Amino acid sequence: MIFRTVRFILSIFLFCFYPYTCNAFGEFSLKKEAELGKKFKKIIRSHLPLIQDPEINSYVRQMVFKLAKSAPYYPFKIEVDVVQNNAMNAFATLAGYMVVYSGMVEKVDSDSELAGVLAHELAHLTQRHVAKNIERSQLVSVGSILTLLAGILVGGNTQAGQALMIGSIAGAQSALLKYTRENEREADQIGLNYLVKAGYDPWGMVEVFKKIRKQRWLSGGTLPSYLSTHPAVEERIGYLEDRLKRLRVKSELKKSVELQLVQTLLRSKYNSPKVALHYFKGNSCYDLLGKGIVYARLNALEKAKKYFILLNDIPDCKKNAVFYREIGKFYYQYGELNKALLNLQKSFLLNSKDSLTLFYYARALAEEGLIKEAEKYFQECLVKMFYNANVHEIVGIFYGKHNKMFKAHLHLAYAYLLQHKIKKFKFHLKKVKLLAKTSSQKRELEKLQKEYKELTNNY
């Protein structure tokens, strides 16, 4: 474990930062920012527990895109990932890439509060604060490396350790690329402008900062970087309140049905069952969905089925593809393929872009012996969820069962690479090399080897 964590540290700080920060007189150009941002993004996506539910990701990404339309020209594509972590936090990196924690999405009481955080981080990106600070500082901070090292080694391989690792990465990134007082004030003010132009309630930014501050008092934890740096938290909340009062902006914070659904998915899937059930005490579509998912996690089949049947009987609950998707997943996992296919087909008709629907639909088709159709949807899943080890593993097993051994070993190699099980990865890589005969297979081999080099810095 220690060797793997040390390697991970080196891959982030030496592989990412060294080529760009050690040139004492070099300019941190857009090209260099793009190269560094790409590497950092790939490391984040391959090492941290990303939320893979397209409904959650789509909600957050659409919000970011809406805010970005209110911003001036920015040379990079804006991208955002949601990391599975209960903390109320988010951070911007480089070249248009930001990360938001699932805890932030789960704990807000309105869309505008989440938009307030995302607008602040977007302002850090559009003003290129991180890039400018790299250019200004030139040197990698040894303290930040030690912070990350301590976090990972203490955390170990446990779920708590993963959470600590995530926090350490964000903390080390903050220590390495500290925002100045002017950076933070600028991100607040410009982010507030983005918020207003995009049609969100600007009081959302004030309210979410208050929530983060309260969360710190309750948990004894630290504030995220954009609240922990100068100016002080109270001062920052104060000047935002003063600005809105001068403009006579009234607060009308609301929670959309989209946010209610996303929070239902996060709470039912990623909290402990006991905590999750605390949220679902009524008989609304969201309560029934939440209870169905939680009881399925607990293997309480009859209880889960009861709530999914009730969900399927309420007309208002049938308007969203996600309800059919979750019902279909449940029936697939418990072997009722006809009901699984029926519900997954309904979900697919309502939203053909949902990668989880495609994934379980493909698996159900494969179980039914519809091999060509299953393969088609598996390939679509791989495009949408390339960095999902579970998808590669299931696809690899699928091809192995049908004696397509090159593809079987190829996807099992990806699965183990993404799980950082390098010994097993190399076993399947060796098989891929032996089986690669055609030009297309050799291109797939080259792509696999390139991913290995980039994810492990093994040049």
Q: Which two tokens stand for residue 451?
A: 């991913």
Query: Which range is most confident: 22-26, 229-233, 394-398?
Result: 394-398
213-216 contacts at long range (C-beta below 8 A, 24 or more positions apart): 213/237, 215/88, 215/107
Instruction: Annotate 344-411 with DSSP letters as a single string.
Output: HHHHHHH-TT-HHHHHHHHHHHHHTT-HHHHHHHHHHHHHHTTT-HHHHHHHHHHHHHTT-HHHHHHH
Region 22-32: what's the mean pLDDT?
A: 62
Residue 423 falls within a domain, yes or no? no
- Examine the fold and report which residue of 319, 353, 377 is the final residue of a domain before the chain moves on: 319
| φ, ψ of residue 20 in degrees (nearest 5) | -110, -20
- Examine the fold and report which residue of 284, 299, 319 is the final residue of a domain before the chain moves on: 319
CB half-sphere exposure, 251, CA atoms < 13 A: 14
164 shares a domain with 92: yes
214 shares a domain with 178: yes
279 shares a domain with 200: no
The tally of domains found in the chain comes to 2
Residue 223 falls within a domain, yes or no? yes
What is the reported pLDDT for 106?
Answer: 95
How confident is residue 217, by pLDDT bands cut at 50, 70 and 90? low
442-451 contacts at long range (C-beta below 8 A, 24 or more positions apart): 444/406, 444/410, 445/410, 448/410, 448/413, 448/414, 448/417, 451/414, 451/417
- Using a cut of 0.75, tell me whether the model's pTM lies above it: yes
What is the reported pLDDT for 46?
Answer: 76
Interatomic CA distance for residues 8 and 74, integer angstroms: 31
What is the reported pLDDT for 227?
Answer: 52
Checking if the pLDDT of 188 tops 60, the result is yes
165 shares a domain with 58: yes
230 shares a domain with 184: yes
Residue 88 falls within a domain, yes or no? yes
240 shares a domain with 162: yes
Q: Which residues contact 73 (CB under 8 A, 6 or more apart)?
A: none
298 shares a domain with 161: no
Residue 153 falls within a domain, yes or no? yes
- Examine the fold and report which residue of 319, 350, 382 is the final residue of a domain before the chain moves on: 319
Q: Kindly list the distances between the CA atom of residue 382 and the CA atoms of 150, 348, 359, 433, in Å, as whole numbers in the listed order.
A: 35, 17, 9, 21
Residue 48 falls within a domain, yes or no? yes
Could you give the angle at which helices 355-367 and 321-333 cross, rounded to 10 degrees? Answer: 30
226 shares a domain with 78: yes
Interatomic CA distance for residues 391 and 153, integer angstroms: 29
Region 426-455: what's the mean pLDDT?
A: 94
How confident is residue 167, by pLDDT bands cut at 50, 70 and 90? low
How confident is residue 179, by pLDDT bands cut at 50, 70 and 90? low
**156 or 305, greater pLDDT:** 305
Contact 270, 102 (CB under 8 A): yes
Rounded mean pLDDT of the chain? 81
53 shares a domain with 141: yes
Model pLDDT for residues 267-314, shown as the tens digit of each residue: 999 999 999 999 999 889 999 999 999 999 999 999 999 999 998 888
Residue 265 falls within a domain, yes or no? no
Instruction: Annotate 170-188 with DSSP letters as a single string.
Output: HHHHHHHTPPPHHHHHHHH
For the chain, give the percent of residues with pLDDT over 70: 78
What is the reported pLDDT for 342?
Answer: 94
Coil/strand/helix, residue 438: coil
Checking if the pLDDT of 444 tops 90, the result is yes
Checking if the pLDDT of 376 tops 80, the result is yes
What is the reported pLDDT for 455?
Answer: 77
217 shares a domain with 95: yes
Interatomic CA distance for residues 97 and 80, integer angstroms: 6
Interatomic CA distance for residues 83 and 49, integer angstroms: 6
Interatomic CA distance for residues 309 and 286, integer angstroms: 14
What is the reported pLDDT for 89?
Answer: 86
Q: Which of 100-104, 154-158, 343-347, 408-412 has the lowest mean pLDDT?
A: 154-158
Residue 453 falls within a domain, yes or no? no
How confident is residue 231, by pLDDT bands cut at 50, 70 and 90? very low
**100 or 174, greater pLDDT:** 100
Which helix H or strand E contains 75, and what residues bound it? none
Checking if the pLDDT of 101 tops 90, the result is yes
How confident is residue 108, by pLDDT bands cut at 50, 70 and 90? very high
What is the reported pLDDT for 28?
Answer: 67
Residue 27 falls within a domain, yes or no? yes
What is the reported pLDDT for 205?
Answer: 85
175 shares a domain with 121: yes
- Residue 194's domain spans which residues? 2-246
190 shares a domain with 57: yes
Region 184-194: what's the mean pLDDT?
A: 85
Name residue, tokens 């309420």.
Answer: 314
Model pLDDT for residues 52-79, shown as the tens digit of each residue: 899 999 999 999 999 999 998 889 999 9
Model pLDDT for residues 380-434, shown as the tens digit of each residue: 999 988 989 999 999 999 999 999 999 999 999 999 999 889 999 999 999 999 9
Which helix H or strand E contains 285, and what residues bound it? helix 285-297
**242 or 259, greater pLDDT:** 259
